[in-house]
Every structure is written in structure tokens, then in C-alpha cells.
Amino acid sequence: MGGVGRVLRLLWPLYAALLCGQAGAQSPSSAEEWGLERLMSEFAGVQRASARFVERKYLKILDRPLELTGTLEYRAPDHLERRTLTPRAESFVVDGDRLRLEDARGRKRTFALQDNPVLWAFVESIRSTLNGDLSQLQRFYSIALDGGREAWRLSLTPKHPRMSALIDVIRIAGSGGRIDTVEIHEAQGDRSIMTVLEGSP
């Protein structure tokens, strides 16, 4: 299935990636009231984080979910890496504005995030969260926060019409400065849930 990457960039820039990372927790100064800005500031100090993940995709056209496993890595301020190990090896690496893809057959492609607001929005849902960059996150999403410090849930609703045509909402759940799950609900009804597992790969 050659050409998909190009389509993504050029002609039908509908589709994007999911990235996640795990942040080392910092102890909060609990005297202040807990909220969005405090949550962000917990992430802001993270320099480096890595974890394993399991993702399940529930697609309407399939009669059972797809399951993927792999590793995630984040380095402040803007390096993000997702490597799928099963069922096929694949990598997805973001550095600044550049996105590099490599599929199971070793084909490599590079994109600029600037070229593709949908893809960019996806990347920022994770990267800006980990970077504690609230203003960047708000550029792409309307944000709602539920729960408390020990069990919180961020709901990101896309602002850009091209993005909202595809994605209803992205829900990121965690505790303290740690991300536990990332759920993506697509406008067509498909959804995926990525669970971040403890510990380094």
C-alpha cells in the first residue's frame, strides 16, 4: 500500500497519528488549588520519559479489534517517538516540525507538520500536554478537565473544522503527572484506546 504517506501529506490530509508518553511525576505543592494550570505545570518539568503501550482499535469494518503493542518515548521539548513492535514493526518519530515514518517494509517518508493541521493537532495533543504548554494545546483544542489530581481526565475537542470532521474528541486520563490512557473517538464512530504501561521498555 505505497503512497499512503504521500496522500496523507498531499491530497487527503485526513489522517493522523496517535502518540503518547509517560511523564515522571513531580510532587505537587498541594496547598494550591488543583486545576488545568497546575496539571500542566506538573508536566512542564519532565525532560525525558519512556514507556510501553498496548493499543486496541475498534473499527466498524472489522469483527474483532486490532491490537498493537510497542514503545513510546518523549524528550523535552519536542521529540516524540512511537515504535510499534506487533503485529508489524513501524515507527513514527516527531522532531520539531518534522515527522518521519518508517513502515514494516522499511519505506521511509518525512513530512512537515506545518503542512498538515490535522496531523499537527494530533501530535500537539500529546506533545503539548507533556511539555506543559497550555497555550499551544488551546490553539488546537477546547479543553475540559474532570476529576482531581489523583484521577483526572482531559477532554480535547478539536477547534479546526478539518480536524473536527474526523475527530469528535480525544480523552487523556491519568493521575498526577502520569498519563494512563489515551482514547480517540472518531466522527465516523471508530475508536481506539491506548493504555500506557508502567516502566521502561
**Site of interaction with other proteins (CB under 8 A):** 1-18, 57, 59-64, 66, 68, 82, 84, 87-88, 90, 92, 103-104, 112, 114-117, 162, 166, 186, 188, 190
Tell me the closest approach of the beta carbon of residue 87 to other proteins, in angstroms. Answer: 6
* Cβ proximity to other proteins, 24 vs 65, nearer residue: 65
DSSP code at position 160: S
Tell me the closest approach of the beta carbon of residue 198 to other proteins, in angstroms. Answer: 23
* Cβ proximity to other proteins, 47 vs 114, nearer residue: 114
Tell me the closest approach of the beta carbon of residue 33 to other proteins, in angstroms. Answer: 34
Tell me the closest approach of the beta carbon of residue 116 to other proteins, in angstroms. Answer: 7
* Cβ proximity to other proteins, 39 vs 99, nearer residue: 99
Output Rg (C-alpha) for the chain, integer angstroms.
16
Q: How far is CA 155 from CA 62, 113, 168, 174, 184, in A?
A: 27, 22, 10, 12, 10
Whether the Cβ atoms of residue 30 and residue 41 lie closer than 8 Å to each other: no
* Cβ proximity to other proteins, 13 vs 28, nearer residue: 13
> What is the distance between the alpha carbons of residues 31 and 176, in angstroms, rounded to a whole number?
15
Determine the 3-state secondary structure of 70 from DSSP.
strand
Here the cell at position 90 is 513501524
- Look at residues 24, 25, 5, 3 and name the one whose alpha carbon lies nearest to residue 16: 5
Which residue in this structure is represented by grid cell 516527531?
94
Tell me the closest approach of the beta carbon of residue 79 to other proteins, in angstroms. Answer: 17
* Cβ proximity to other proteins, 154 vs 184, nearer residue: 184
